[in-house]
Amino acid sequence: MKILLKSAHIIDKESAFHNTIKDILIEDGVIRQIGEALGTIEADSVIENIFVSQGWTDSSVCFGEPGYEERETLANGMRTAERSGFTHVLVNPLTHPVVDSQSGVVYIKDKTRGFAATAHPIGALTVESKGDYLAELYDMQQGGAVAFGDYKKPIANSNLLKIALQYVQPFGGLVISFANDTKIMGKGVVHEYKESTRLGLKGIPPLAEELCVARDLAILEYTGGKLHIPTISTQQSVALIREAKKKGLDVSCSVALANLHLTDEVLEDFDTNYKVLPPLRDAATVAALRAALNEGVIDFVTSDHNPLDIELKFKEFDLAAFGTIGLENMWGILSKYVSVEKAVDLLTAARKRFAIETHPIKENGIADLTIFRTEGTHIFRKEDILSASKNSAFIGAEHQGSVVGVIANNKVITKENNA
């Protein structure tokens, strides 16, 4: 297959062609030529006047299968990721049974072969994600797991986290620790602030997150190893991680797109699509998170994509499940808050952190690319949702720019030709 990208604005700091406009000829999954006006070339697909970068990676997605196919199948989840600009997605063990063994990891990888995008399973840190005993971490790593964590479940046992960080060091494993003290959270459902009081909803104090971040960093300093703290949402969490990085600790963190874009003021109508964990915070906190992106304290942004069927969301606010989808909104929202180069940095940084091979844009290099545009705006509607579940906190949001598609694994997938 021959693909010609004409007048492509290349954004790739690892490439000699960074921030230049070139024609790119791709043949059989390999970049054959990069140059000025390559001329008339017979190609199976020609795409013009676009931006191109290394393929984007999302560090936290849920697809449901196996066990929760009514929420999302692996096949439709992968198609949604591709059309949202992602060539790599890290799949959480929010499944039934929980992915806590090598066979579970291999199942995810086998079921997702043949797509342009590549799925990278995250193995559960503990057996059945119950927090009692470590799962088969080394075996899962041998099967293809890129990290270990219990999705949205904190590690209550501090000694277990200590042992996990020590155990994975010989094989370079990465531990994921979701920061949320469930005792302090209690029955909270939203950010503890004036909005929670005004609406009569139980609040989740920022302290619930910050205590866990402080504890996890203290344990990391003691043990060494590699730690990732996903979806931080408070100013103090940012400050703690900033200091930890200054000390030289091997820690990374992410922020969820919803926490970066929305404030708790949207809860006015008790729309359960806005019920997420960590909860939407106040305006000052959201501004601080955006500043931390540009500062570099926050390493990458995740959609924290979590499809949930209507039975889990169409309930009273207190009883509804936490979670929103977000893969399709990543570029359109993120590009409103940071520069094009910074947005690409944030969307590609996870690959190195999770030891996934990178492919700079160069001649004779593997084509693993995201194609996008930066101009134009549109409103995201429920009818635009590709995911099987429609629990989106971004319905009605204005998007800046658009995703054209991806080229990876010798396939070209675009929204425009629905390939």
Residues labelled as active-site residues: 304
- Check if the beta carbon of residue 107 is closer than 8 Å to that of residue 114: no
The helix/strand/coil state of 140 is helix
Give the C-alpha separation, 73 to 67, whole Å: 9
In terms of Cα–Cα distance, which of 51, 53, 89, 95 is closest to 72? 95
- Check if the beta carbon of residue 61 is closer than 8 Å to that of residue 82: no
Residues in the chain: 419
Give the C-alpha separation, 44 to 221, whole Å: 53
Neighbours of 205 (CB within 10 A): 18
CA dihedral sign of residues 42, 44, 50, 55: negative
Question: Edge-to-edge strands of the sheet including 411-414?
Answer: 30-35, 21-27, 2-11, 45-54, 369-379, 398-408, 411-414
In terms of Cα–Cα distance, which of 371, 347, 385 is closest to 419? 371
- Check if the beta carbon of residue 401 is closer than 8 Å to that of residue 376: yes
In terms of Cα–Cα distance, which of 169, 61, 170, 66 is closest to 120? 61
In terms of Cα–Cα distance, which of 124, 211, 107 is closest to 175? 124
Radius of gyration of the CA atoms of the chain, in A: 21
